[in-house]
């Protein structure tokens, strides 16, 4: 009997240990597939749907995403069929051609690759596990869902979102195929449905048999119908009508997706900033809406921003609270046009003056330093031409952000370089705060990376870009001629 108890105890210990080992193995298993230059193409080619994160090991945002991404991969691996999540170390030298091919400009960047990589889309979903799972289940399913009942319509038509519905007499033919193509192309930005019965839909002519495309939206006229089934025409119609006549920028999260669409629009951007709590708010809103209708379809999009939510924009544009109410227009070449302390009745005339070419660009600049006798010279927008282009000297110019840790590490190195060239009359070592000064975009392609800083040299009549990549070792350089 005693021996039997011993064996039972041993059996329980073995079972417990075995369960513990299995649990540890399960926990240690990585569900995110690691890809690199050697296996990326073959792996993607075998899958209809793959999600790929391009990351850098030193990137803090990547480190924060990693456990959420892994958790989502574990959950999605149990789907039928499973949804595959993968990652590529884009910081690895051998993987950089991949990063270049997929136009990776910051970390982490997540891409959705469909049909063996023939279709590539940006991931535009959440960054936490449950949100990733929900978003990718929608993205990996059908691009458009059939609406068969009023309940189906109620479940997909949200008063705060855009829905695109195709109405057809039958789910076949060229128009239906084109609608399916539209849904596949724009599925990362919109939700799609299709139906045989317009009576199931809450708005619009219920008697139409189609084919017709109806876009539901939570602003302006609430729905729009399209009859041109050319795919490119449909894409253009959906993109244009899914932006409010006047986008509202405040702290209400329901408006944020439309703000993103506003800034992603290829149009020039007119932005009116004011205090939404002001007694004049209604007058501004009414006049501004009339102006936006007047210039609709003429390459100009309109936004109205509450001063309380717009401090980031104020910092970016270099504008002050005492200039409010103000309207600023930014064109696609980066030029800005400003009308401070504007009155409601002045908006229409000023916008017309802008479109007629009668408004001078506004330039954001820090004050020109009274003394500029340090080894590293300070450049601002107002003395940029004099120091960088008109001095006749070779200029090493750093574009930096004052909050950037990498820039702070570079500062003593730049000082040392400047000291070593102090006796050379043909060389200037300089720096410009790229967050506080406008940069001539037609000459310098300054983009904010993880650290927000770039360095360029003007040498004679040419501009040479010296981009410093911030690794643990400090920095490396590459040169590229710019005209």
How do residues 219-243 score in pLDDT, each as one tens digit? 999 999 999 999 999 999 999 899 9
Q: Are 466 and 475 in contact (CB under 8 A)?
A: no
Higher pLDDT, 70 or 28: 70
**Domain range list for the chain:** 33-140, 144-241, 247-355, 377-482
In the chain, what is the straight-line distance between the N-terminal and C-terminal CA atoms, in Å?
93
Instruction: Name which CATH class applies to 377-482.
Output: alpha beta
Residue 20 has pLDDT above 90, yes or no: no
How far apart, in Å, are the Cα atoms of 474 and each of 52, 254, 386, 409? 28, 42, 31, 8
- Per-residue pLDDT band at 448 (split at 50, 70, 90): low
| CATH classification code of 144-241 | 3.40.30.10
Determine the CATH number of domain 247-355: 3.40.30.10
59 is catalytic: yes
How confident is residue 10, by pLDDT bands cut at 50, 70 and 90? very low
Q: Tell me, yes or no, if 473 is annotated catalytic.
A: no
* pLDDT of 143: 93
Q: Which of 22, 59, 451, 453 is catalytic?
A: 59
Instruction: Please list the residues that pair with 215 across neighbouring strands.
Output: 164, 224
- Band the pLDDT of 447: cuts 50, 70, 90: low
User: Band of the pLDDT at 463, cuts 50, 70, 90?
Assistant: very low
Q: Name the CA dihedral angle for 209, 215, 216, 219, rounded to a multiple of 10 degrees.
A: -140
Least confident of 19-28, 147-156, 427-436, 439-448: 19-28
Residue with the two structure tokens 């601002």: 380
Of 23-32, 178-187, 380-389, 391-400, the range with the lowest mean pLDDT is 23-32
| Tokens found for residue 265 | 């629009």
* Mean pLDDT, rounded, of the chain: 86
- Please give the helix or strand (H or E) that residue 146 lies within, else none: strand 144-146
Please tell me which residue, 415 or 443, carries the higher pLDDT value. 415
pLDDT, tens only, 322-337? 999 999 999 988 889 9
Average pLDDT over residues 73-99: 95
Q: Which of 22, 62, 450, 453 is an active site residue?
A: 62
Contact 274, 330 (CB under 8 A): no
What would the mean pLDDT of 119-146 be, rounded to a whole number?
A: 93
22, 404, 453, 473: the catalytic one is: 404
Catalytic residue among 22, 407, 450, 473: 407
Q: In this predicted structure, what is the pLDDT of residue 27?
A: 53
Name the pTM for this structure: 0.68
Q: How high is the pLDDT of residue 315? A: 82
Is 451 one of the catalytic residues? no
| Residue 131 pLDDT exceeds 50 | yes
Digit-coded pLDDT (tens) for 227-284: 999 999 999 999 989 999 999 999 998 898 899 889 888 899 999 999 999 999 999 9
Instruction: Verify whether residue 407 is a known catalytic residue.
Output: yes
For 169-192, write each residue's pLDDT tens digit: 999 999 999 999 999 999 988 999
The CATH code belonging to domain 33-140 is 3.40.30.10
Say if residue 349's pLDDT is above 50: yes
Task: Confirm whether 144-241 and 247-355 share one CATH topology.
Answer: yes
pLDDT band at 457 (very low <50, low <70, confident <90, very high): very low
pLDDT of residue 188: 86
Out of 31-40, 103-112, 141-150, 464-473, which region has the weakest mean confidence (pLDDT)? 464-473
3-state secondary structure string across 433-469: ECCCCCCCCCCCCCCCCCCCCEEEEEECCEEEEECCE
pLDDT per position as a tens digit, 142-163 = 999 999 999 999 888 887 889 9
């Amino acid at each position: 009997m005693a021996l039997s108890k011993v064996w039972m105890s041993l059996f329980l210990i073995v079972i417990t240990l075995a369960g513990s080992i299995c649990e540890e193995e399960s926990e240690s298993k990585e569900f995110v597939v690691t890809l690199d230059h050697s296996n990326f193409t073959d792996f993607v080619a075998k899958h209809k749907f793959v999600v790929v994160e391009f990351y850098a090991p030193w990137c803090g945002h990547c480190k924060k995403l990693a456990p959420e991404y892994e958790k989502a991969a574990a959950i999605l691996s149990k789907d039928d069929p499973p949804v595959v999540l993968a990652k590529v170390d884009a910081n690895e030298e051998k993987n950089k051609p991949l990063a270049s091919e997929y136009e990776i400009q910051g970390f982490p960047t997540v891409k959705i690759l469909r049909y063996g990589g023939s279709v590539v889309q940006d991931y535009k979903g959440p960054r936490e596990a449950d949100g990733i799972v929900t978003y990718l289940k929608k993205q990996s399913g059908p691009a458009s869902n059939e609406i068969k009942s009023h309940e189906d319509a109620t479940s997909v038509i949200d008063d705060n979102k855009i829905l695109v519905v195709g109405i057809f007499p039958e789910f076949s033919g060229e128009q239906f195929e084109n609608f399916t193509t539209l849904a596949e192309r724009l599925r990362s930005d919109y939700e799609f449905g299709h139906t045989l019965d317009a009576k199931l839909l809450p708005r619009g002519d219920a008697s139409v048999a189609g084919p017709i495309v109806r876009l539901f939206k939570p602003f302006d006229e609430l729905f729009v119908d399209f009859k041109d089934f050319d795919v490119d025409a449909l894409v253009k119609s959906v993109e244009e009508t899914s932006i409010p006549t006047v986008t509202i920028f405040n702290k209400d999260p329901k408006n944020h997706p439309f703000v993103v669409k506003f800034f992603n629009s290829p149009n020039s951007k007119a932005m009116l900033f004011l205090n939404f709590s002001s007694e004049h708010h209604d007058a501004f809103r009414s006049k501004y809406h009339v102006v936006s209708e007047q210039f609709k379809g003429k390459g100009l999009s309109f936004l109205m921003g509450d001063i309380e939510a717009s401090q980031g924009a104020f910092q970016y544009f270099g504008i002050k609270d005492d200039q409010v109410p103000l309207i600023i227009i930014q064109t696609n070449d980066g030029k800005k046009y400003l009308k401070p302390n504007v009155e409601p009745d002045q908006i229409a005339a000023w916008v017309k003056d802008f479109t007629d070419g009668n408004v001078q660009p506004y330039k954001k600049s820090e004050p020109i330093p009274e003394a500029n006798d340090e080894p590293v010279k300070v450049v601002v927008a107002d003395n940029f031409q004099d120091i960088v282009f008109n001095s006749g000297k070779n200029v090493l110019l750093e574009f930096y952000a004052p909050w950037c840790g990498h820039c702070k590490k570079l500062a003593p190195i730049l000082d040392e370089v400047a000291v070593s060239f102090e006796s050379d009359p043909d060389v200037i070592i300089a720096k410009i705060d790229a967050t506080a000064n406008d940069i001539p975009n037609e000459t310098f392609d300054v983009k904010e990376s993880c650290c927000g800083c770039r360095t360029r040299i003007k040498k004679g009549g040419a501009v040479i870009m010296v981009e410093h990549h911030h690794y643990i070792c400090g920095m490396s350089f590459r040169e590229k001629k710019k005209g």
